[in-house]
Protein backbone atom coordinates (compact mmCIF):
# COMPACT_ATOMS: atom_id res chain seq x y z
CA UNK A 1 0.00 0.00 0.00
CA UNK A 2 1.09 3.54 -0.66
CA UNK A 3 1.81 5.95 2.17
CA UNK A 4 3.24 9.39 2.77
CA UNK A 5 4.82 10.70 5.94
CA UNK A 6 5.30 14.33 6.81
CA UNK A 7 7.16 14.06 10.10
CA UNK A 8 6.76 17.68 11.18
CA UNK A 9 3.39 19.13 12.14
CA UNK A 10 4.87 22.61 11.99
CA UNK A 11 7.99 24.26 10.65
CA UNK A 12 9.05 27.70 11.85
CA UNK A 13 11.48 29.83 9.87
CA UNK A 14 12.45 33.48 9.78
CA UNK A 15 11.79 35.51 6.66
CA UNK A 16 14.75 35.44 4.31
CA UNK A 17 16.06 32.12 5.61
CA UNK A 18 15.93 28.90 3.62
CA UNK A 19 13.10 26.51 4.37
CA UNK A 20 12.66 22.76 4.08
CA UNK A 21 9.44 20.80 4.51
CA UNK A 22 10.09 17.08 4.74
CA UNK A 23 8.26 14.24 3.02
CA UNK A 24 9.00 10.54 2.78
CA UNK A 25 6.96 8.03 0.85
CA UNK A 26 6.35 4.35 0.35
CA UNK A 27 5.10 2.75 -2.86
CA UNK A 28 5.47 -0.70 -4.32
CA UNK A 29 6.75 0.56 -7.67
CA UNK A 30 7.99 3.88 -8.99
CA UNK A 31 6.32 7.02 -7.70
CA UNK A 32 4.76 10.14 -9.00
CA UNK A 33 5.16 12.78 -6.29
CA UNK A 34 3.33 16.05 -5.76
CA UNK A 35 3.38 19.05 -3.44
CA UNK A 36 0.31 21.16 -2.75
CA UNK A 37 -0.21 24.27 -0.61
CA UNK A 38 -3.37 25.31 1.22
CA UNK A 39 -3.95 28.87 2.38
CA UNK A 40 -6.61 29.62 5.01
CA UNK A 41 -10.17 29.10 3.79
CA UNK A 42 -8.94 27.93 0.41
CA UNK A 43 -8.57 24.65 -1.44
CA UNK A 44 -5.29 22.93 -2.24
CA UNK A 45 -3.10 24.56 -4.87
CA UNK A 46 -0.69 22.52 -6.99
CA UNK A 47 2.96 23.56 -6.54
CA UNK A 48 5.06 20.99 -8.37
CA UNK A 49 5.42 17.36 -9.34
CA UNK A 50 8.08 14.75 -9.98
CA UNK A 51 7.33 12.42 -12.84
CA UNK A 52 10.70 11.36 -14.22
CA UNK A 53 14.08 12.78 -15.18
CA UNK A 54 15.93 15.43 -13.21
CA UNK A 55 15.72 14.80 -9.48
CA UNK A 56 15.43 18.53 -8.76
CA UNK A 57 12.00 19.82 -9.68
CA UNK A 58 11.16 23.51 -9.81
CA UNK A 59 7.65 24.77 -9.18
CA UNK A 60 5.54 27.80 -8.46
CA UNK A 61 6.50 30.75 -6.22
CA UNK A 62 10.19 29.82 -6.13
CA UNK A 63 9.66 26.41 -4.53
CA UNK A 64 11.60 23.34 -5.55
CA UNK A 65 11.75 19.75 -4.40
CA UNK A 66 14.41 17.08 -4.61
CA UNK A 67 13.53 13.48 -5.35
CA UNK A 68 15.84 11.03 -3.56
CA UNK A 69 15.06 7.46 -4.49
CA UNK A 70 17.49 5.83 -2.06
CA UNK A 71 16.02 7.74 0.87
CA UNK A 72 12.46 7.63 -0.52
CA UNK A 73 12.17 11.33 0.12
CA UNK A 74 10.77 14.35 -1.69
CA UNK A 75 11.55 17.36 0.48
CA UNK A 76 10.17 20.78 -0.45
CA UNK A 77 12.63 23.66 -0.36
CA UNK A 78 12.88 27.37 -0.95
CA UNK A 79 16.10 29.40 -0.72
CA UNK A 80 14.52 32.46 0.92
CA UNK A 81 11.21 32.29 2.79
CA UNK A 82 8.53 34.96 2.64
CA UNK A 83 5.91 35.71 5.28
CA UNK A 84 3.31 35.05 2.57
CA UNK A 85 4.60 31.46 2.30
CA UNK A 86 2.94 30.72 5.65
CA UNK A 87 0.38 28.02 4.88
CA UNK A 88 -0.33 24.29 5.11
CA UNK A 89 1.75 22.11 2.79
CA UNK A 90 0.77 18.64 1.61
CA UNK A 91 2.92 15.98 0.00
CA UNK A 92 1.18 13.32 -2.12
CA UNK A 93 2.22 10.14 -3.90
CA UNK A 94 0.78 7.84 -6.51
CA UNK A 95 2.43 4.80 -8.06
CA UNK A 96 3.18 5.03 -11.77
CA UNK A 97 1.02 2.08 -12.60
CA UNK A 98 -1.93 4.26 -11.62
CA UNK A 99 -3.94 1.49 -10.06
CA UNK A 100 -3.80 3.12 -6.64
CA UNK A 101 -5.34 6.44 -5.73
CA UNK A 102 -3.41 9.60 -4.90
CA UNK A 103 -2.43 9.48 -1.23
CA UNK A 104 -1.80 12.64 0.78
CA UNK A 105 0.23 13.24 3.91
CA UNK A 106 -1.26 14.85 6.99
CA UNK A 107 0.22 18.22 6.13
CA UNK A 108 2.90 20.49 7.59
CA UNK A 109 2.10 23.98 8.73
CA UNK A 110 4.79 26.46 7.71
CA UNK A 111 5.05 29.62 9.76
CA UNK A 112 7.37 32.30 8.46
CA UNK A 113 8.04 35.08 10.94
CA UNK A 114 8.97 38.65 9.91
CA UNK B 1 -7.82 30.10 -8.65
CA UNK B 2 -11.26 30.23 -10.26
CA UNK B 3 -10.88 27.11 -12.42
CA UNK B 4 -12.90 24.97 -9.99
CA UNK B 5 -15.89 26.58 -8.27
CA UNK B 6 -17.73 25.07 -5.34
CA UNK B 7 -21.07 26.19 -3.91
CA UNK B 8 -22.12 26.84 -1.27
CA UNK B 9 -18.96 27.81 0.61
CA UNK B 10 -20.63 27.14 3.95
CA UNK B 11 -23.53 24.86 4.85
CA UNK B 12 -25.19 24.16 8.17
CA UNK B 13 -27.75 21.40 8.23
CA UNK B 14 -29.60 19.16 10.60
CA UNK B 15 -29.22 15.42 10.54
CA UNK B 16 -32.59 14.92 8.84
CA UNK B 17 -32.07 17.48 6.08
CA UNK B 18 -31.28 16.83 2.44
CA UNK B 19 -28.86 19.15 0.68
CA UNK B 20 -26.51 19.10 -2.28
CA UNK B 21 -23.00 20.39 -2.87
CA UNK B 22 -22.13 21.63 -6.33
CA UNK B 23 -18.82 21.72 -8.17
CA UNK B 24 -18.11 23.20 -11.58
CA UNK B 25 -14.80 23.23 -13.43
CA UNK B 26 -13.89 25.52 -16.31
CA UNK B 27 -10.59 23.82 -17.18
CA UNK B 28 -11.77 21.39 -19.83
CA UNK B 29 -10.86 18.45 -17.60
CA UNK B 30 -12.36 15.00 -17.83
CA UNK B 31 -11.84 13.67 -14.32
CA UNK B 32 -13.48 15.00 -11.16
CA UNK B 33 -13.09 14.07 -7.52
CA UNK B 34 -14.71 14.53 -4.12
CA UNK B 35 -12.48 14.64 -1.04
CA UNK B 36 -13.25 15.03 2.67
CA UNK B 37 -10.82 17.09 4.75
CA UNK B 38 -11.01 16.77 8.52
CA UNK B 39 -8.69 18.35 11.04
CA UNK B 40 -5.49 16.41 11.77
CA UNK B 41 -6.32 13.73 9.18
CA UNK B 42 -5.09 13.17 5.64
CA UNK B 43 -7.39 14.05 2.80
CA UNK B 44 -9.85 11.24 2.23
CA UNK B 45 -10.75 10.46 -1.35
CA UNK B 46 -14.48 9.77 -1.62
CA UNK B 47 -15.39 9.44 -5.29
CA UNK B 48 -13.75 9.64 -8.71
CA UNK B 49 -15.41 10.25 -12.05
CA UNK B 50 -13.58 9.91 -15.35
CA UNK B 51 -15.41 10.93 -18.51
CA UNK B 52 -18.65 11.00 -16.47
CA UNK B 53 -18.24 7.41 -15.31
CA UNK B 54 -17.69 6.67 -11.63
CA UNK B 55 -14.39 4.84 -11.33
CA UNK B 56 -13.94 4.84 -7.57
CA UNK B 57 -16.13 4.76 -4.49
CA UNK B 58 -13.80 4.67 -1.50
CA UNK B 59 -16.19 2.81 0.83
CA UNK B 60 -18.25 5.94 1.34
CA UNK B 61 -21.51 5.59 3.33
CA UNK B 62 -24.66 5.65 1.23
CA UNK B 63 -25.81 8.88 2.89
CA UNK B 64 -23.39 10.52 0.42
CA UNK B 65 -24.54 10.19 -3.19
CA UNK B 66 -22.50 11.63 -6.06
CA UNK B 67 -23.79 12.71 -9.45
CA UNK B 68 -21.81 13.70 -12.52
CA UNK B 69 -24.15 14.82 -15.31
CA UNK B 70 -21.27 15.97 -17.55
CA UNK B 71 -17.52 16.43 -17.38
CA UNK B 72 -17.85 19.98 -16.06
CA UNK B 73 -20.24 19.41 -13.18
CA UNK B 74 -20.16 17.26 -10.09
CA UNK B 75 -22.67 17.09 -7.27
CA UNK B 76 -22.64 15.50 -3.84
CA UNK B 77 -26.12 14.80 -2.50
CA UNK B 78 -26.37 14.60 1.27
CA UNK B 79 -29.07 13.03 3.40
CA UNK B 80 -29.38 11.87 6.99
CA UNK B 81 -25.84 12.93 7.83
CA UNK B 82 -24.11 12.37 11.16
CA UNK B 83 -22.17 14.85 13.31
CA UNK B 84 -18.89 13.17 12.30
CA UNK B 85 -19.62 14.17 8.72
CA UNK B 86 -18.84 17.79 9.60
CA UNK B 87 -15.77 18.66 7.55
CA UNK B 88 -14.46 20.58 4.55
CA UNK B 89 -15.54 18.92 1.32
CA UNK B 90 -13.21 19.57 -1.56
CA UNK B 91 -13.85 19.05 -5.24
CA UNK B 92 -10.95 18.60 -7.65
CA UNK B 93 -10.47 18.00 -11.35
CA UNK B 94 -7.67 16.80 -13.61
CA UNK B 95 -7.16 16.30 -17.31
CA UNK B 96 -8.00 12.65 -16.79
CA UNK B 97 -7.40 10.10 -14.03
CA UNK B 98 -3.92 9.07 -15.14
CA UNK B 99 -1.39 8.96 -12.34
CA UNK B 100 0.83 11.79 -13.59
CA UNK B 101 -1.91 14.42 -13.81
CA UNK B 102 -2.01 17.06 -11.05
CA UNK B 103 -5.37 17.80 -9.55
CA UNK B 104 -6.85 21.29 -9.33
CA UNK B 105 -8.98 22.00 -6.29
CA UNK B 106 -11.91 24.23 -5.50
CA UNK B 107 -12.06 26.22 -2.26
CA UNK B 108 -14.38 23.71 -0.64
CA UNK B 109 -17.69 23.65 1.18
CA UNK B 110 -17.47 23.87 4.97
CA UNK B 111 -20.20 21.55 6.20
CA UNK B 112 -21.50 21.60 9.76
CA UNK B 113 -24.01 19.02 10.97
CA UNK B 114 -26.10 20.03 13.95
pLDDT tens, residue by residue, A11-34: 999 999 999 999 999 988 889 999
Q: Which residue of A has its CA nearest to B40?
A: A106
For residues A41 and A68, the model is more confident at: A68
pLDDT at B17 (0 to 100): 87
Which residues are registered as beta bridge partners of B103?
A: none
The reply to whether residue A102 touches residue B106, judged by beta carbons under 8 angstroms, is: no
Specify whether the CB–CB gap between B48 and A101 falls below 8 A. yes
For chain B, where are the E strands, in sequence order? 4-7, 10-13, 18-25, 31-37, 44-50, 53-57, 64-70, 73-79, 87-94, 104-105, 109-113
Separation of alpha carbons A87 and A94, rounded Å: 23
The shortest CB-CB distance from B56 to any of A46, A51, A101 is to: A101
User: What is the DSSP code (8-state) at residue A60?
Assistant: G
Q: Which helix (H) or strand (E) holds A21?
A: strand A19-21
Closest-CA distance of chain B to residue A10, Å: 12
User: How many CB atoms lie under 10 A from the CB of residue A22?
Assistant: 17
Suggest the residue from A43, A59, A103 to mutate for an interface test with chain B (most B CBs closer than 10 A): A43
Interface of A with B (CB under 8 A): 4, 32, 34, 36, 41-46, 49, 51, 90, 94-98, 101-107
In this predicted structure, what is the pLDDT of residue B57? 85
Indicate the pLDDT class of residue A108, thresholds 50, 70 and 90. very high
* Helix (H/G/I), strand (E/B), else coil: A99: coil
**pLDDT of A85 strictly over 60:** yes
Q: What is the mean pLDDT of chain A?
A: 93
Q: How many CB atoms lie within 10 A of CB A64?
A: 16
Confidence at A68, pLDDT banded by 50, 70, 90: very high
Q: Which DSSP helix (H) or strand (E) runs through A64?
A: strand A64-68
Amino acid sequence: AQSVAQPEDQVNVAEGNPLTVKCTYSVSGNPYLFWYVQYPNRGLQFLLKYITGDNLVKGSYGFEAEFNKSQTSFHLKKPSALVSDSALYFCAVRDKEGFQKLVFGTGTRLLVSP
Amino acid sequence: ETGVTQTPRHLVMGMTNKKSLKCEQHLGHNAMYWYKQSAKKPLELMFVYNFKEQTENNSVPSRFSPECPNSSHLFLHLHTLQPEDSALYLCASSQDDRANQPQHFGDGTRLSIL
